[in-house]
Structure 1
Amino acid sequence: MQLESKRALITGAGSGIGRALAIAATKRGMHVAICGRRSEALERTAVQMDRTRDTLIVVADVTVPADRRRLFETIAREWGELDVLVNNAGVVTGGSFATIDDQIVEETLRVNIQAPIALARVFLPLLEAARPSRIVNVGSIFGDIAYPGFAAYSASKFALRGFSDALRRELAPHGVSVTYAAPRATATVAASAFYGVPGVSIERLDPPERVAETIWRAVARGKPSVYARGPESLFVLLQRIAPWLIDLSLTRRESTSLL
């Protein structure tokens, strides 16, 4: 996909990977709509994009049906079509499974999987109008490697990966492609969830700018999925062909870091 002049909606664009995706998109000559729950954060993103006049800013909570509908109506009114939908909004939750409460589980699933599914369905008419178009679902390496201390989070990202695969196969005849992106731990506010969870050690945090560039390159090349380069690729392969090796590593008293 030639990205210049394409129209992209990016959720969770008030910080972290979403902000970096928005900034990188404008550098590639794209028209960008940014969405998030905090207007101040979105305004800061828009300023850094250095194209505030061309940027659509929509304050919305993607877990709320009325907000999703308002977001759709804004894009439909302003553009009429949508080339790229980036489901980036998400939460990172960690902690002992024995102590995690229902509210945290429900929020994790609502933000990380229910909202992307709903947004893909809501925006499908605009994506079909712009075809060939693409949906980008931002997951996590934890969507391949289920990490102790992150049971609900891993479950949500496994679900997002499965949804992406199924949706890609279903929408291919309709000219809408799907890319699943699985970054590793990234230097964002959400990364604070990794600290304080027993057995988890962080060896590296990728800059969000690097993650964003990797994702946009994958979109431009039409890749169905994109993973961070490095040992994580080996771990994902081992998870698929010899999961017992990952079990041995992650169930030891002092876990070996895969981050």
Structure 2
Amino acid sequence: MKVQESKRAIIIGATSGIGYEVTLQLLQQGWKVGIAGRRQEALEALQKTDCTRIEIQALDVTQPQATEQLQQLIDKLGGMDLFLLSSGIGYQNMKLDADIELRTAQTNVEGFTRMTIAAFRYFQKQGRGHLAVISSIAGTKGIGVAPAYSATKRYQNTYIEALEQLARLQKLPICFTDIRPGFVSTDLLKDGKYPMLMSPSVVATKIVKALHHKKRIAVIDWRYAILVFFWKMIPAWLWKRLPVRS
């Protein structure tokens, strides 16, 4: 389905993986897209594919200046209707390397919070908008092989829930979408073997559809929706005994 040319999306973490594929699909549907990420060369390479409808801005979500750089990107694009946060990191860390856990929290909590606040405030001032984030099904349970990753994803789930309530209290017509993929074949999952692995392009198609329908929570895909439904029912005493590995 085509959308009006005036629709403008900002995607943080667009140089690879899911963010990259979503960018391509929104462009195909007629959106103007502002893309951001840490790698300037990768941003420039993507911009060359459609110079008239892509604006770029290098930024690192863990740095305080990322908020100002986001605003610069919005200005380049001429506004923002959709904000999609696709940047995040995660590792298997059964040895509990503290540096890995803290680095994960820095990106997935500190960086996430910084960018979602900036997007919320922009939409608050504008009086409308669609704020979407890519979290994970890992946020629904504490997974022993990846403690910080699952904990930070739970934080993201709860934070978006709280922002939605805040928007309602302030009578703001802001739409929220929490996108929860299962295992996706990206650089993020280079450290293990994973079941039901999905391609980024297939996942992106489902994400774009969920964004179009403004779904509040989108578990990608139906197999993981069934999995999450049943593992939420597992009591704590049993969950801690399960040999969840990948």
Question: So what's the TM-score if we normalise by structure 1?
Answer: 0.85
CA distance in 1, matches of 2:238, 2:204: 28
Which residue in the other structure is 1:108 paired with? 104
Contact 1:12 1:18 in 2 (8 A): yes
1:138 to 134, 141, 151: 134
Q: What letter is aligned with 2:188?
A: A
Between Structure 1 and Structure 2, how many residues are aligned? 243
Contact 1:15 1:45 in 2 (8 A): no
Which residue in the other structure is 1:227 paired with? 219
CA distance in 2, matches of 1:77, 1:126: 15
Which residue in the other structure is 2:43 paired with? 42
Which residue in the other structure is 2:24 paired with? 23
Query: For the structure 1 residues 245 and 184, does the alpha-carbon distance in structure 2 shift closer, same or farther, using more than 3 Å as the test?
Result: farther
Q: Provide, for residues 32-55 of structure 1, a one-character-per-residue CA deviation record: whole Å limited to 9, x for no partner.
A: 0000001122223334xx322221
Contact 1:32 1:54 in 2 (8 A): yes
Misfit runs of 4+, over 6 Å: none
CA distance in 2, matches of 1:217, 1:19: 16
Secondary structure class of the residue paired with 2:84: strand
Contact 2:207 2:220 in 1 (8 A): no
Q: Provide, for residues 165-199 of structure 1, a one-character-per-residue CA deviation record: whole Å limited to 9, x for no partner.
A: 11122113211111000111111111103x1xxxx
1:78 to partner: Cα distance: 4.3
1:243 to partner: Cα distance: 3.4
1:128 to partner: Cα distance: 3.2
1:167 to 159, 163, 166: 163
CA distance in 1, matches of 2:201, 2:189: 15
Q: What letter is aligned with 1:93?
A: Y
Secondary structure class of the residue paired with 2:232: helix
Q: What letter is aligned with 1:100?
A: L
1:245 to partner: Cα distance: 9.0
After TM superposition, the structure 1 = structure 2 runs for residues 1-259 of structure 1, keeping only pairs within 5 Å, are 3-4=3-4, 5-47=6-48, 50-76=49-75, 78-79=77-78, 81-96=79-94, 99-172=95-168, 173-193=171-191, 195=192, 201-243=193-235, 247=239, 251-252=242-243, 255=244
CA distance in 2, matches of 1:30, 1:211: 19
Query: For the structure 1 residues 187 and 95, does the alpha-carbon distance in structure 2 shift closer, same or farther, using more than 3 Å as the test?
Result: same
CA distance in 2, matches of 1:149, 1:256: 7
Query: For the structure 1 residues 103 and 131, does the alpha-carbon distance in structure 2 shift closer, same or farther, using more than 3 Å as the test?
Result: same
Query: For the structure 1 residues 131 and 213, does the alpha-carbon distance in structure 2 shift closer, same or farther, using more than 3 Å as the test?
Result: farther
Q: What letter is aligned with 2:187?
A: V
CA distance in 1, matches of 2:77, 2:18: 25
1:140 to partner: Cα distance: 1.0
Query: For the structure 1 residues 247 and 170, does the alpha-carbon distance in structure 2 shift closer, same or farther, using more than 3 Å as the test?
Result: same
CA distance in 1, matches of 2:39, 2:162: 32
Q: What letter is aligned with 1:13?
A: A
Identity of aligned residues (%): 24
CA distance in 1, matches of 2:106, 2:186: 21
CA distance in 1, matches of 2:224, 2:70: 35
Which residue in the other structure is 1:198 paired with? none
Q: Provide, for residues 71-97 of structure 1, a one-character-per-residue CA deviation record: whole Å limited to 9, x for no partner.
A: 213313541x3111111101121121x
Contact 1:83 1:130 in 2 (8 A): no
CA distance in 1, matches of 2:224, 2:235: 14
CA distance in 1, matches of 2:124, 2:100: 35
Question: So what's the TM-score if we normalise by structure 2?
Answer: 0.89
Once superposed, what is the RMSD of the aligned Cα atoms? 2.3
CA distance in 1, matches of 2:3, 2:146: 35
Q: What letter is aligned with 1:135?
A: L
